[in-house]
Chains A and B, each alone.
Chain A
Amino acid sequence: MKLRLVSLLLISLFSMFALVGASAQEQTEGVLVSADWLEANLDNPQVRVIEVSVNPGLFERGHIAGAVNFVWHTDFVDTVQRDIVSSERFQELIQAAGINDDTTVVLYGDSNNWFAAWGAWIFNLYGFEDVRLLDGGRVKWEADGRPLTTDVAVFEPGNAIVAAPNDDLRALKDEVLSIVEGVTPGTLVDIRGPAEYNGEIFAPEGVQELAVRAGHIPGAINVPWGQNVSEDGTFKSVEELRDLYAGLGIDGSTPIVTYCRIGERAALTWFVLNQLLGYDVALYDGSWTEWGNAVGVPVENPAGTVWGGV
């Protein structure tokens, strides 16, 4: 009898667990917000939270209360020609997200805020002034045990107007070429892993987007993106970051251009150098998938890997 009772109890316990599911500072200078600050400001109508995650289905299964989902590969880009989202389309998204001209936009996402930083770059490019990142992003928010919700937030249409794109924040291929050729001064920062930078591999395993040449843009300095952050995913302190880059000869005395493989991750380093350190930085969103495929541009390939094998 006892055995029966325990077994029945156990089965109901399983059902309950399975249905319910087991689990378990103040505002930083201007462009970064802490999780504490955000949690305290979730009901603040001046604040609009936007999630930009790489993995589909993450936002839908639970997001920070009141957050709006922006999809990096459809909302922030033109899906037909290779370009960033048009200002007309961005205007529609802004309006639907209820963003006004005095709204503080706070972005966060998975994978160390890579694509949230890309979102922050787009917002800056289109003239938004108060754009911030949640320090540590989604990973830290979850690790802190802070709440998520599946509620859908609905907003009155916002009145913010998208400005003409600020070309100073964006580098096109010819501008990069002009730096490489020494015509214009500039420092190139390659944020990919050392194996890609050295040309040992074309791209990390499993990725779809490739270039048919290996290596890096001549003169670029390799600073993998991970050096910007601490173990918990938050940014290192401004002093640490300034020292890190100064030690590599990047001190803001010349304009900087950051790039990666497909153009999005480099936004994290753009954010660090431009938004946190205040340097003059542009993002080369064509990145290696454009440069390594472009005809006639110079390439440095220390490893000498040949496309298709020797």
Chain B
Amino acid sequence: MSETTVEGSFQEGAAPPRMSLRQQAARWSGLLILLGALLAAYVLHNAPGFGTNASLSLLLGVVLGIVFQRGRFCFFCIFRDFIQFRNSAGLFAVLTALAVGSVGYALIFGAFLPNTFTGRLPPDAHIGPVSWVLVAAGVAFGIGMSLSGACISGHLYRLGEGYSRAPFALFGSLVGFGLGFFTWQSVYLGTISSAQVVWLPATLGYGGALALQLAVLTGVGVYLLRFLPPLPAREGSSVTLKAIWDRVILQRWNPLITGGLVGIIGTVAYLRIEPLGVTSQLSSMTRTAMDSAGLLADRLNGLDGFTGCAAVIAQTITDNGWLIGGLVVGSFAVVLLANKFQLSRLTLGGGISAALGGVLMGWGAMLALGCTVGTLLSGISAFALSGWVFGIAVFIGVWLGIRFKLNRW
């Protein structure tokens, strides 16, 4: 490795160093993977049983993977930066995503359900029941994030970076979904069936709900300003192809840009296919496997009556499956382009705590009908009280996890 060029070691004006063979191979592979994904999307669009929704889901997934990776849109990392290091920079990405998503959803809702006072809910938006089950699910999910090192979407995109704990955490989540189904059966009749499904526009209208959410997000943002580290001074520089490449591929994106893009992708996904979420395919795999093994009752009481990242029995790859597949691939490709792929070191303890954290996250995501993406992001964007409650509970869970140093396991 000693003869490979170290980035930034050359002088301004000097001839750029030649790329090593390994760097070149990585970049070409990244490029080929992106091309392969485009081709796959093209094939999917008229493949029997799939079609344009599967194709578009794959493309959105790839873009989301690129944005998550380049913007480090990892809820755990963002929460930990704030809780442990008093750095709020990443939280601004979340606030921006929620603000942009809310505006986008309000625009779409206006067409999907012009009258908010009819007692109906907009089609398949993630608006869930609010009860202590949701709070417990959120806290468990947050603790699971600390234990495993990322949330579920975080593990998916970090899989593309070579994060060795990710497969363990994702496998653990499959087990967690299964446990969640059993818990669901026992708490549905007592609690969830009578829980309120609170949708802010049903009382405030779209204008009122949007104004309220933007005010809350602004208030939180103003409070967080004091935890924002000073930005590095940036000299004026000419826009060259290399400068663009460095900004897009090598340097971390500005949180506001990342958040804005996540909000836009969430809006587009809802407009064209379904709200963003990353757990529906995973929990469906668990449900289908348990169903064919005869471990699960044919019917999960009330589950089919709620919208969210709910598990279905499916023998095929759903649109959501293409989305999360694209997410991993997009992240992997852009990491290769930057030549930053690195398998992280894995200890036995690390693998076990990742799997345990995954179990907690799967359990929480099943009961909350989604994770930090499906319930927090898509829920708050859809003006669902369940999104806010889940988000706060997850934050508390992460705080507990860090307070008890679970993230060091």
Complex CA gap A22/B51 in Å reads 10
Q: Is the CB of B114 within 8 A of A152?
A: yes
Q: Is the CB of A60 within 8 A of B122?
A: yes
Q: What A residues does B42 contact at CB under 8 A?
A: 22
Q: Is the CB of A18 within 8 A of B271?
A: no
With A24-B45, A24-B52, A206-B313 as known contacts, state yes or no: A8 contacts B34, CB within 8 Å: no
A151 at interface, CB cutoff 8 A: yes
Q: What A residues does B124 contact at CB under 8 A?
A: 56-57
Q: Which of B34, B110, B242 has the most CB of A within 10 A?
A: B34
Q: What B residues does A37 contact at CB under 8 A?
A: none
Q: Is the CB of A3 within 8 A of B31?
A: yes
Instruction: Give 12 A-B pairs besides A5-B241, A7-B31, A152-B111 with Cβ atoms closer than 8 angstroms.
Output: A4-B245, A7-B27, A8-B241, A10-B38, A14-B59, A14-B66, A18-B59, A21-B268, A22-B45, A24-B52, A60-B112, A74-B120
Q: What A residues does B313 contact at CB under 8 A?
A: 206
CB < 8 Å neighbour of B274 from A13, A19, A57: A57
How many whole Å from B86's CB to the nearest CB in chain A?
A: 34
CB < 8 Å neighbour of B337 from A5, A7, A56: A7
How many whole Å from A20's CB to the nearest CB in chain B?
A: 9
How many whole Å from B74's CB to the nearest CB in chain A?
A: 20
A307 at interface, CB cutoff 8 A: no
Q: Is the CB of A15 within 8 A of B63?
A: yes
How many whole Å from B409's CB to the nearest CB in chain A?
A: 36
How many whole Å from A32's CB to the nearest CB in chain B?
A: 27
With A3-B31, A61-B271 as known contacts, state yes or no: A22 contacts B52, CB within 8 Å: yes
CB < 8 Å neighbour of A8 from B35, B113, B245: B245
Q: Is the CB of B123 within 8 A of A17?
A: no
Q: Is the CB of A10 within 8 A of B28?
A: no
A25 at interface, CB cutoff 8 A: no
With A8-B248, A11-B66, A151-B111 as known contacts, state yes or no: A22 contacts B123, CB within 8 Å: no
Q: What A residues does B59 contact at CB under 8 A?
A: 14, 17-18, 22
Q: Is the CB of A24 within 8 A of B46?
A: yes
Q: Is the CB of B34 within 8 A of A7?
A: yes
B398 at interface, CB cutoff 8 A: no
Q: Which residues of B contact A (CB under 8 A)?
A: 27-28, 30-31, 34-35, 37-38, 41-42, 45-46, 52, 55-56, 59-60, 62-63, 66, 110-114, 120, 122-124, 241-242, 244-245, 248-249, 264-265, 268, 271-274, 299, 304, 313, 330, 334, 337
Q: How many A-B residue pairs have CB under 8 A?
A: 95
A1 at interface, CB cutoff 8 A: yes
With A22-B45, A56-B124, A152-B111 as known contacts, state yes or no: A4 contacts B242, CB within 8 Å: yes
Q: Is the CB of A18 within 8 A of B62?
A: yes
Closest B-chain residue to A10, C-beta based?
Answer: B34
A81 at interface, CB cutoff 8 A: no
Q: Is the CB of A17 within 8 A of B41?
A: yes
With A1-B241, A22-B52, A60-B111 as known contacts, state yes or no: A10 contacts B35, CB within 8 Å: yes
Complex CA gap A224/B62 in Å reads 43
With A7-B31, A18-B63, A24-B45 as known contacts, state yes or no: A150 contacts B111, CB within 8 Å: yes
Complex CA gap A53/B249 in Å reads 45
Complex CA gap A208/B60 in Å reads 33
Q: Is the CB of B52 within 8 A of A7?
A: no
